[in-house]
């Protein structure tokens, strides 16, 4: 199992333990989501050390990424509420581009989102961004979707617009 897959597994477990998906629907808000993400980061630090969380990949700005897996050439961002952030994809792609411009060998950008996020990003505009960044910058963008009820499934958007694959 790769580090990215393990972090995804931990994200699913933490979301289930906190009942995050139901709590958000009940209006728990951003502070609760931050608490859950911080707990996930602490688990990742316990497992892999502090060198991969909250990394600043470009000295030109103070944009951090949730996880930088240098040995996997992967930026991994956790966004439990992808439905509420319209420019999220573009923002995360831009952070990856800035990191690459700063000399980081970024080849993968993985966004972990809530149920329904894969379907949302299959519309033409996000797909065109995903396809452009792979074609011009050789960065593969994937959306890994958390499952309701703690079932562990990974769904990835394919840069070619091929649809959703169960892995």
In 15-152, at which residue ranges do the beta strands (DSSP E only) sit? 53-56, 64-69, 74-79, 108-113, 140-145
What are the pLDDT digits (tens) for 83-142?
555 568 888 999 999 999 999 999 999 999 888 888 888 889 889 999 999 999 999 999
Q: How far apart are the first and last CA of the chain?
A: 12
Query: Whole-prediction pTM value?
Result: 0.84
Whether the per-residue pLDDT at 151 is higher than 70: the answer is no
What are the pLDDT digits (tens) for 23-74?
655 455 577 778 889 999 999 999 999 999 999 898 878 889 999 999 999 9
pLDDT value, residue 142: 95
Which is more confidently placed, 97 or 150?
A: 97
Q: Quote the tokens at residue 83.
A: 């439905």
Instruction: Report in angstroms the alpha-carbon separations of 68 from 23, 33, 108.
Output: 28, 20, 10
């Amino acid at each position: 199992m790769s580090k990215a897959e393990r972090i995804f597994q931990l994200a699913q477990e933490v979301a289930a333990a906190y009942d995050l998906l139901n709590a958000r629907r009940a209006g728990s808000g951003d502070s609760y989501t931050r608490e859950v993400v911080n707990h996930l980061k602490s688990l990742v630090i316990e497992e892999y050390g502090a060198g991969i969380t909250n990394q600043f990949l470009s000295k030109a700005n103070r944009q951090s990424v949730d996880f930088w897996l240098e040995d996997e050439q992967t930026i991994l961002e956790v966004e439990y509420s992808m439905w509420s952030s319209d420019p999220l994809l573009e923002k995360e792609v831009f952070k990856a581009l800035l990191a690459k411009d700063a000399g980081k060998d970024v080849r993968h950008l993985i966004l972990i989102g809530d149920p329904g996020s894969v379907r949302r990003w299959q519309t033409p505009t996000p797909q065109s961004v995903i396809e452009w960044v792979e074609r011009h910058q050789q960065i593969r963008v994937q959306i890994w979707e958390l499952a309701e009820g703690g079932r562990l499934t990974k769904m990835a958007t394919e840069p070619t617009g091929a649809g959703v694959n169960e892995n």
